[in-house]
Amino acid sequence: MTTHLPVKPAWACGDCGANWPCQTRRHELRAEYEAAPVSLALYLATQLVDATEDLREVPAGHLHRRFLGWTR
């Protein structure tokens, strides 16, 4: 089980303190969803929607890149 979970409302990684999803969590998610990339995108889109409520000052494009842009 990962320790790299988001700490809300800052959406920082609970383990390393980086913006969530951090590099470690991204690696874990890629491995976990290797056979289901659409499911990974749906999971991260849900997290993005939650984060937009807490991170209102962060531009939408930045949040999109942070949560979904790396999945390509």
Q: How far apart are CA 67 and CA 46, in angstroms?
A: 10
pLDDT digits (tens, 9 = 90+) for 7-64: 999 999 999 999 999 999 999 999 999 999 999 999 999 999 999 999 999 999 999 9
Rg (CA), the chain: 12
Q: How far apart are CA 5 and CA 12, in angstroms?
A: 8
Show me where the domains of the chain are located.
Answer: 21-71
* Neighbouring C-alpha atoms within 13 Å toward the C-beta of 44: 25
Per-residue confidence (pLDDT) for residue 9, from 0 to 100:
97
Per-residue confidence (pLDDT) for residue 24, from 0 to 100:
97
**2 or 56: whose pLDDT is higher?**
56
